């Protein structure tokens, strides 16, 4: 009996010691986090931040919402510009900062490289190497995925962001790049929702299914809704990509295949007078795949017109959706339901 009592006393002492160690460790972590926050300075949204990556200076803009609470971790949205648009231009085009202020999300605008004398079609214009497109980045085989993965890691280490709620969006070439990032960085990204661009990269060896939404206009003049055959004139590799050959619906079905979704056809269709949303809702990892179709939409599905200083506006209308729907609101409603922590929809 005495032996049993001794054992019980010893176990209690060990438990108290372990609890004390765990409590001390938690206290140390809290102190370290408080120190980081006390030293943190919100970046100037109008000044590029840069680091060197594989011999190139890679830069981005950072926007903190007006109501940000630095004592808690915020979701972060990476918005990728289209071909021949800078980070500043993309931010002005889409006005995503209004959404950021509303929902409390930090926004990162990375910038693709513009390389003089690259020999590419449309050289010396910002672009992303999304696989089969575009411009300088494609011609020089720039490792944009590596840059963006490093940027994600830097942001999560240095900023008060929720690493479980990292979202990617983008327009045109930026939408293509966002979808490539889904395949190559699904371990970091919670969800993707983007406009007017098809997946141009098909290596899914590193992919674990995450939610994907692509938004497209039936009247898209650049990446046509039924196919993007125009791109194949300039990018020979594009001729091997089904989505680029066959358009938005094929892109939806390609993602349904990547996500191992149930059923041969989309199991949800929400139509109205202005747009419809087709979805595969039963997919691996409790994900879904969606296609938003704007019946009257062109290449620009954002509210704002994008007609200033566009050298190639003769091939597209550049007009926005004139307030018919809230593009960012629809994307945020889709993405924000998901978190890496839960592996499922958030409440």
Q: What is the pLDDT of residue 315?
A: 59
Band the pLDDT of 67: cuts 50, 70, 90. confident
Q: Which of 12-26, 134-148, 182-196 has the lowest mean pLDDT?
A: 12-26
Closest of 192, 215, 344 to residue 283, by C-alpha: 344
Q: Which of 48-62, 197-211, 218-232, 298-312 has the lowest mean pLDDT?
A: 218-232
| Integer Cα distance of 172 and 228 in angstroms | 12
With a CB cutoff of 8 Å and minimum separation 6, the contacts of 23 are none
Cα-only R_g, the chain: 23
Q: Are 266 and 280 in contact (CB under 8 A)?
A: yes
Mean pLDDT of 311-315: 54
Q: What is the pLDDT of residues 105-132, one digit of tens each?
A: 999 999 999 998 877 777 789 999 999 8
Average pLDDT, the chain: 85
Reply yes or no on domain 41-345 having CATH 3.40.50.1820.
Answer: yes
Count CB-CB contacts under 10 A for residue 8.
10
Q: Are 152 and 164 in contact (CB under 8 A)?
A: no
Band the pLDDT of 42: cuts 50, 70, 90. very high
Count CB-CB contacts under 10 A for residue 145.
20
Helix (H, G, I), strand (E, B) or coil at 310: coil
Beta strands in the chain (DSSP E): 49-53, 56-63, 74-80, 106-110, 161-170, 191-195, 212-217, 268-271, 275-283, 287-294, 338-339, 344-345
Backbone angles phi, psi at 108, to 5 degrees: -110, 130
Q: What is the pLDDT of residue 132?
A: 86
With a CB cutoff of 8 Å and minimum separation 6, the contacts of 90 are 79, 80, 81, 82, 109, 171, 174
Mean pLDDT of 17-39: 49
Q: What is the pLDDT of residues 198-214, one digit of tens each?
A: 998 989 999 999 999 99
Q: What is the pLDDT of residue 154?
A: 97
- DSSP β-bridge partners for residue 300: none
Q: What is the pLDDT of residue 60?
A: 98
Straight-line distance from the first to the last Cα atom of the chain, in angstroms, rounded to the nearest whole number: 52
> Alpha carbon of 54 to those of 122, 142, 147, 160: distances in Å?
23, 9, 9, 27
The first and second tokens of residue 307, run together, are 């007609």
Q: What is the pLDDT of residues 157-197, one digit of tens each?
A: 999 999 999 999 999 999 999 999 999 999 999 999 999 99
Closest of 176, 182, 65 to residue 130, by C-alpha: 176
Angle at which helices 96-103 and 87-94 pack, to 10 degrees? 70
3-state SS of the chain: helix, strand, coil percent to 5? 35, 20, 40
Q: What is the pLDDT of residue 317?
A: 75
Q: What is the pLDDT of residues 260-290, one digit of tens each?
A: 999 999 999 999 999 999 999 999 999 999 9
pTM of the model: 0.85
């Amino acid at each position: 009996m005495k032996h049993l009592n001794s054992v019980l006393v010893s176990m209690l002492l060990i438990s108290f010691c372990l609890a004390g160690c765990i409590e001390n460790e938690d206290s140390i972590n809290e102190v370290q986090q408080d120190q980081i926050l006390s030293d943190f300075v919100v970046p100037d949204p109008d000044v590029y931040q840069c680091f060197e990556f594989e011999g190139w200076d890679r830069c981005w803009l950072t926007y903190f919402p007006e109501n940000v609470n630095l004592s808690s971790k915020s979701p972060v949205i990476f918005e990728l510009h289209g071909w021949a648009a800078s980070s500043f231009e993309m931010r002005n085009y889409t006005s995503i900062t209004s959404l950021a202020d509303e929902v409390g999300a930090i926004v990162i605008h990375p910038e693709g490289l513009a390389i003089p004398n690259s020999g590419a079609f449309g050289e010396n214009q910002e672009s992303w190497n999304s696989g089969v497109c575009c411009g300088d980045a494609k011609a020089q085989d720039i490792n944009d995925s590596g840059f963006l993965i490093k940027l994600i890691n830097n942001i999560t280490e240095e900023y008060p962001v929720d690493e479980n709620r990292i979202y990617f969006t983008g327009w045109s070439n930026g939408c293509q790049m966002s979808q490539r990032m889904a395949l190559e960085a699904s371990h970091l990204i919670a969800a993707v929702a983007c406009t007017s661009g098809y997946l141009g990269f098909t290596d899914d060896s590193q992919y674990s299914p995450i939610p994907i939404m692509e938004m497209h206009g039936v009247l898209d003049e650049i990446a046509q809704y039924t196919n993007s055959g125009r791109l194949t004139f300039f990018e020979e590799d594009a001729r091997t990509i089904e989505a680029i050959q066959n358009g938005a619906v094929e892109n939806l079905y390609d993602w349904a295949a990547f996500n191992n979704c149930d059923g041969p056809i989309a199991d949800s269709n929400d139509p109205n007078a202005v747009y419809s949303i087709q979805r595969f809702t039963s997919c691996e990892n409790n994900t879904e795949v969606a296609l938003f179709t704007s019946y009257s939409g062109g290449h620009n599905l954002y509210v704002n017109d994008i007609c200033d200083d566009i050298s190639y506006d003769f091939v597209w209308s550049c007009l926005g959706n004139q307030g018919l729907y809230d593009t960012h609101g629809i994307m945020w409603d889709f993405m924000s339901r998901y978190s890496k922590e839960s592996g499922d929809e958030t409440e």
